[in-house]
């Protein structure tokens, strides 16, 4: 099976290929004989029923700084000319991101979009996870200081974070007696129009925040991300370090419950975050971590993702 693949992503020039999941997916696609195009979300357009992109044909190679060759930009019809679109630009999950999902949804009946754009739109990381509250730490979503104070009085140390942030940005640990809570809530209210998330602090975060990858609903590997000294954030983008790990029985239970729904929604590549047996996020917009997982485990997660994509393409006839 030879496919034409368009990757909607951040500029190829800016990525660090050593740990980049999108680049790993592109390398795997190319090794299977698939043709690659690259474009940014700002290159999308709609005209009389057609969704187009101003894209570059590219070939990729594992040489940082000389990791791709691009041809001249051309207009491609994503509905007629392309078999698969990988929606892989980084969040924030804002109106621009949502608009891209609306445009891509219009061609999803002809072209396989990974992950499914309507499902991505309806499953923001810190809200979709509320469907599985039985696995979560105590959680509050609000804009009201008095509600945060009451939550803190009940749970002690808390974590405050924006609903649509990414890579650990603007995540605050607030101690029981911290006198900055009111100022912090005021700041969140000025910077973001939407509510924010407050969760009971999990002290075991010092032992790691586990990223588990599911491919078409099946867990395929995990890494344990440890925060650097003096930090609570274990995101690799925030300086966390990846370590090899295995799934616990509790984590397998979480995956068993989530997996069928993820597959049914067309969420082929998903990363969930688990701290001390508590589910904290379900990442569907542009999950990462597969390069580190494969390095530790000797697995081929990009290959598994392409197996799942090709199976879905074949099922479409």
Q: Which residue has the higher pLDDT, 28 or 229?
A: 28
C-alpha angle with apex 314: 312 to 315, nearest 5 degrees?
A: 65
316 among known catalytic residues: no
State the catalytic residue, choosing from 225, 235, 265, 294. 225
Element (H, E) at 278: strand 278-283
How many other C-beta atoms are found inside a 10 Å radius of the C-beta of residue 70? 16
Interatomic CA distance for residues 114 and 33, integer angstroms: 19
**258 close to 265: Cβ distance less than 8 angstroms:** no
Evaluate if residue 125 carries a pLDDT over 60.
Answer: yes
State the catalytic residue, choosing from 20, 38, 125, 273. 273
Interatomic CA distance for residues 77 and 81, integer angstroms: 5
126 among known catalytic residues: yes
State the catalytic residue, choosing from 56, 161, 210, 265. 161
- 164 confidence band (pLDDT: 50, 70, 90): confident
- In the chain, % of residues over pLDDT 90: 81
161 among known catalytic residues: yes
143 among known catalytic residues: no
C-alpha angle with apex 283: 27 to 198, nearest 5 degrees?
A: 150
Q: Looking at the DSSP assignment, which residues form a beta bridge with residue 220?
A: none
Q: 3-state DSSP call for residue 213?
A: strand
Arithmetic mean of pLDDT over the chain: 93
User: Phi first, then psi: what are they for 19, rounded to 5°?
Assistant: -130, 15
Question: Can you give the pTM of this predicted structure?
Answer: 0.92
Least confident of 1-5, 171-175, 225-229, 264-268: 225-229
- 206 confidence band (pLDDT: 50, 70, 90): confident
CA distances for 243 relative to 93, 155, 210, 211, 293, angstroms: 28, 30, 9, 10, 9
pLDDT at 208: 86
Interatomic CA distance for residues 276 and 293, integer angstroms: 19
Mode of pairing for the β-strands spanning 4-8 and 35-39:
parallel
CA neighbor of 125 nearest in space, from 84, 169, 85: 169
State the catalytic residue, choosing from 125, 216, 251, 281. 281
**114 close to 84: Cβ distance less than 8 angstroms:** yes
Evaluate if residue 204 carries a pLDDT over 80.
Answer: yes
- 240 confidence band (pLDDT: 50, 70, 90): low
**Helix residue spans in the chain (DSSP H):** 21-31, 95-105, 117-121, 125-128, 145-155, 181-191, 249-264, 290-297, 301-316
Cis peptide before 199 (omega within 30 of 0): no
State the catalytic residue, choosing from 52, 56, 210, 211. 211
State the catalytic residue, choosing from 121, 233, 235, 251. 233
Name, in order, each residue with C-beta under 8 angstroms of 179's C-beta and a sequence gap of 6 or more: none
State the catalytic residue, choosing from 52, 56, 121, 126. 126
154 among known catalytic residues: no
pLDDT digits (tens, 9 = 90+) for 45-96: 999 999 999 999 999 999 999 999 999 999 999 999 999 999 999 887 889 9
283 among known catalytic residues: yes
Q: Looking at the DSSP assignment, which residues form a beta bridge with residue 296?
A: none
pLDDT at 230: 52
Name, in order, each residue with C-beta under 8 angstroms of 62's C-beta and a sequence gap of 6 or more: 17, 27
State the catalytic residue, choosing from 115, 224, 235, 283. 283
């Amino acid at each position: 099976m030879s496919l034409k693949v368009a990757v909607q992503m951040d500029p190829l020039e800016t990525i660090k290929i050593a740990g980049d999941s999108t680049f790993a997916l592109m390398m795997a696609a190319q090794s299977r004989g698939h043709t690659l195009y690259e474009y940014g979300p700002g290159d999308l357009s709609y005209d009389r029923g057609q969704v187009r992109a101003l894209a570059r044909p590219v070939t990729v190679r594992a040489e940082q700084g000389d990791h791709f060759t691009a041809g001249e930009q051309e207009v491609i019809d994503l509905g007629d000319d392309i078999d698969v679109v990988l929606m892989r630009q980084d969040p924030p999950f804002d109106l621009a991101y949502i608009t891209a999902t609306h445009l891509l949804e219009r061609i999803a009946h002809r072209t396989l979009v990974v992950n499914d754009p309507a499902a991505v739109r309806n499953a923001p990381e810190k809200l979709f996870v509320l469907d599985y509250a039985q696995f979560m730490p105590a959680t509050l979503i609000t804009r009201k200081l008095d509600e945060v104070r009451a939550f803190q009085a009940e749970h002690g140390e808390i974590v405050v974070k924006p609903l649509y942030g990414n890579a650990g940005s603007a995540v605050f640990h607030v101690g029981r007696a911290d006198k900055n809570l009111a100022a912090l809530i005021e700041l969140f209210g000025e910077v973001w129009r939407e509510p924010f998330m407050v969760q009971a602090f999990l002290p075991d975060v010092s032992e790691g925040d586990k990223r588990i990858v599911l491919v078409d609903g099946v867990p395929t590997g995990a890494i344990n991300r440890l925060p650097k000294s003096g930090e609570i954030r274990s995101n690799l983008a925030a300086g966390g370090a990846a370590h090899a790990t295995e799934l616990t029985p509790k984590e397998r239970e979480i995956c068993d419950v989530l997996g069928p729904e993820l597959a049914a929604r067309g969420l082929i590549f998903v990363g969930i975050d688990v701290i001390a047996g508590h589910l904290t996020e379900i990442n569907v917009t542009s999950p990462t971590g597969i390069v580190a997982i494969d390095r530790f485990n000797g697995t081929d997660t990009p290959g598994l993702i392409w197996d799942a994509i090709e199976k879905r393409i074949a099922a479409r006839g």
